[in-house]
Amino acid sequence: MRRLGLSLRTEEAYVGWVRRFILANGKRHPREMGAREVEAFLSGLVTRDRVAASTQNQALAALLFLYREVLALELPWMDNIRRAKKPLRLPTVLTREEVAALLAQMSGVTWLMAGLLYGAGLRLMECLRLRVQDVDFVRREITVRQGKGGKDRRTVLPAMVVDALQGQMAEARRLHARDLAAGFGAVWLPHALDRKYVNATREWAWQYVFPAHVRSIDPHGGVERRHHLDETVLQRAVKAAVRRAGIAKPATCHTLRHSFATHLLEAGSDIRTVQELLGHADVSTTQIYTHVLNRGGSGVVSPLDR
């Protein structure tokens, strides 16, 4: 998986599913099993464990990877296994007033990150992985590197967060200077850039905008370095803010991204522009936000109100 460039999260998920598959079949080797065992395992996830369609499809993807890439077995029967149909669900969207109430319950670095999720349409990990060189204060834009699907894109930098973001970067720079003085200061770089640009790991431009409070050990190389903040820091802060604001919706960090897209469309932005800002490969993905607008087919006046 590392040779093919899959993420650490994918690696952990696939290994977990392979382990569950083997344990569910009495620790038999996968070479000794076939279509019957795979189908029984996937069916049991739905009938016994009642998992979502996306979870079952992830388990199937892990087993496909195991048999095709790891064991190098040609198994045509794997192509005949039906994937669960993922239901079409409308995204949860907050009103402008609810976003304001949520942000009013936050402060400091978590307020800043939440402001970027809503103000720039960033995904959670895209925000946490921002590096200093990705923020352009002059052009008021943010460059997202290696977003979903490995794609780069540019999005807007909200004017409201500029001062706070500059303050955060100043604090990150002081933290980086202390690391350098202690003999550390090297940051993780993707695609072996640390070998191509030997000094880049310690350069300020490559440092994370939201560095972790403590250094940690890289699970792949065993090197002690400072990574970005853990995602649970912002997730917990948003969850607590939603509760304190009295918002009766299942709002999460990703809800702020949904709200960003919906509010842009409500304000009259072109759907193609919103597609580019979100980084969607197909405009049909962006079109789901038109279903939650207060206009068009869903904006008709009820006959009861007439």
Domains recognised in the chain with CATH numbers: 8-80 (1.10.150.130), 89-300 (1.10.443.10)
The letter for the amino acid at 39 is: E
Average pLDDT taken over every residue of the chain? 89
Q: Picking from 5-9, 114-118, 153-157, 260-264, which range would have the lowest pLDDT averaged per residue?
A: 5-9
DSSP label at residue 66: I
Per-residue pLDDT, 221 = 75
Among all residues, which ones are annotated catalytic? 123, 148, 254, 257, 280, 289
Give pTM, 2 decimals.
Answer: 0.81
Average pLDDT over residues 17-44: 92
Share of the chain above pLDDT 90, in %: 61
**Of the segments 70-79, 113-122, 143-152, which one has the largest average pLDDT value?**
113-122
Task: Let me know if 75 is exposed, middle or buried by CB neighbors in 10 A (0-12, 13-18, 19+).
Answer: middle
- Give residue 82's pLDDT band: very low, low, confident or very high (50, 70, 90): low
Q: What's the half-sphere exposure (Cβ side, CA atoms, 13 Å) at 25?
A: 20
- Report the alpha-carbon distance of residue 92 to residue 251 in Å, rounded: 7
Predicted confidence (pLDDT) at residue 242 exceeds the cutoff of 90: yes
Per-residue pLDDT, 198 = 76
Predicted confidence (pLDDT) at residue 124 exceeds the cutoff of 80: yes
Which H helix or E strand runs over 37? helix 35-47
The answer to whether the CB of 188 falls within 8 A of the CB of 218 is yes
Predicted confidence (pLDDT) at residue 96 exceeds the cutoff of 80: yes
Average pLDDT over residues 26-46: 90
- Report the alpha-carbon distance of residue 211 to residue 176 in Å, rounded: 9
User: 254-305: per-residue pLDDT in tens?
Assistant: 999 999 999 999 888 889 999 999 999 888 888 888 776 655 445 566 676 7
Nearest to 128 by CA among 151, 149, 112: 112
